[in-house]
Amino acid sequence: MIALSLAEIAAATRGELIRHGDDTPETMVSGTVDTDSRNTARGDIFVAKPGAHTDGHRFVGTAADQGAALAIVEHVVDAPVTQIVVADAVAALSDLAREVVSRVRANGPLKIVGITGSNGKTTTKNMLRTILEQEGETVAPVASFNNAVGAPLTMLRVNHDTAYLVCEFGADAPGQIARLAGLVTPDVGVVLMVGLSHAGGFGGIEQTALAKRELVEQVRPGGTAVLNIDDSRVAAMAATAEERGLEVRFFGEGDGSDVRARDLVVTASGTHATLDVDGSALPLHLRVLGAHHVKNAMAALTAAVALGVSPADAVARLETIELAERWRMQVMGSQSVRIINDAYNASPDAMQAALRTLAQITGEGERMVAVLGAMSELGERDVEEHQKIGLLAVRLRIPRIVVVGSDARPLFLSAIAEGSWSDEAVFFETADEAYEYLKDELRDGDRVLVKSSNAAGLRNLGDRLGDLFS
């Protein structure tokens, strides 16, 4: 974090300063801000966030012992550290992030990009970071830091030399993206797609679209909206952008795209396409598996070009990426038994894309194996969407479908009903049971997709299989 006095931090967070030792209101603090005491070191700021499983106030003493310079708390804690008492620690974190970013922006070259969408946020963020970090100092989220805690923690990492801040905005209810994006008013807002991810929390896909549109509504005047022309709900956000005087740039395969992809080819070694950008045809050879990642690459490229990056330079940097993110189409195992661990997130759109990628990369004489778990937060469409995935898996002629977990059972029943027989589709209650089956079932020439939502926990099963067959 940039250096601020204790008095300035107290004012920004609307808190009461309780000094310890020789600290004065003018004492300067510039350490890292974190809500995990295990990450706290000398000079840092610890935010005591109440949680569902534990209360951060229990660890203020630990943070103090590790050298924390300040604790932001909701009540005074008996610990040897200066504290700022606030009404709401999470809100205070956001208030502090707003203040820091505002100061950096007012006195430096900082440009800010916000990214949202039902799928692809983290991959697109990583791709854009790879492009921008060779242009100037770039701050982007760790993993999927995109919620009311993670997004402000990312924002607080900027300093006066930061050229680019890339923010990832997730939400499971209306208004959350508006609040997070409103902390920084991005120069560029990227909307990837509107799908059924978190549809249960939003109340349906149309409400999800309104929530994603909140990012466009928070882009600063004179900024740019980067929109997926192939998603009608996202493309319709151009009207909102134009009403606000924003530049609109489209990406996708449809006519009218500023960055357009054609001639897509998916192989076991990567994904290839030709990109039409500003009148030039640029070949793209992504090492990341899956046609859907070309869409993420186009989004990152479009945002980068809006910030003044050369399209050719941006494409060259995209081609250096070997892994979008851990547990996202992560290739493991060996040439004999290839494991694709994509079990960090799974909406219906992402699940379908992953299954189609499995079919595309499996060659003659090789066998497809799909290890599938539940998709979470689908609300009233939960059973229907799982049934659709079972239907797709059979129609893609996947000869071995392994379904794990009771929440995914409708997927298994759908596969059986569609005609999967002779143990082609099997069901296990737990990942351990599935592992015991798979370690004996898998053989040379198998191409294995492990796919589920994070909550289903199959990413660890994918890791185990990857280690077993490496």
Q: What is the pLDDT of residues 397-411, one digit of tens each?
A: 999 999 999 999 999
Alpha helices in 68-174 (DSSP H): 89-106, 121-132, 150-155
Indicate the pLDDT class of residue 108, thresholds 50, 70 and 90. confident
Q: Is the pLDDT of residue 199 over 90?
A: no
Helix, strand or coil for residue 172? coil
Residues 171-174: contacts with CB under 8 Å, at least 24 apart: 171/116, 171/147, 171/198, 171/211, 172/198, 172/201, 172/202, 172/377, 173/201, 173/202, 173/211, 174/202, 174/207, 174/210, 174/211, 174/214
Mean pLDDT of 336-357: 91
Q: Is the pLDDT of residue 198 over 60?
A: no
pTM of the model: 0.87
Q: Is the pLDDT of residue 93 over 80?
A: yes
**CA pair distance 219, 225, nearest whole angstrom:** 8
Alpha helices in 149-288 (DSSP H): 150-155, 176-182, 199-202, 205-218, 232-235, 238-243
Which of 11-15, 78-82, 378-382 shows the lowest per-residue confidence on average (mean pLDDT)?
378-382
Q: Is the pLDDT of residue 423 over 80?
A: no
Question: Look-up: residue for tokens 């499983």?
Answer: 53
**CA pair distance 323, 130, nearest whole angstrom:** 12
Residue with the bigger pLDDT between 239 and 322: it is 239
Q: Is the pLDDT of residue 384 over 80?
A: yes
Structural domains in the chain, CATH included, are 4-86 (3.40.1390.10), 108-318 (3.40.1190.10), 330-468 (3.90.190.20)
Q: What is the pLDDT of residue 257?
A: 96
Mean pLDDT of 135-149: 91
Helix%, strand%, coil% for the chain, nearest 5 = 40, 20, 40
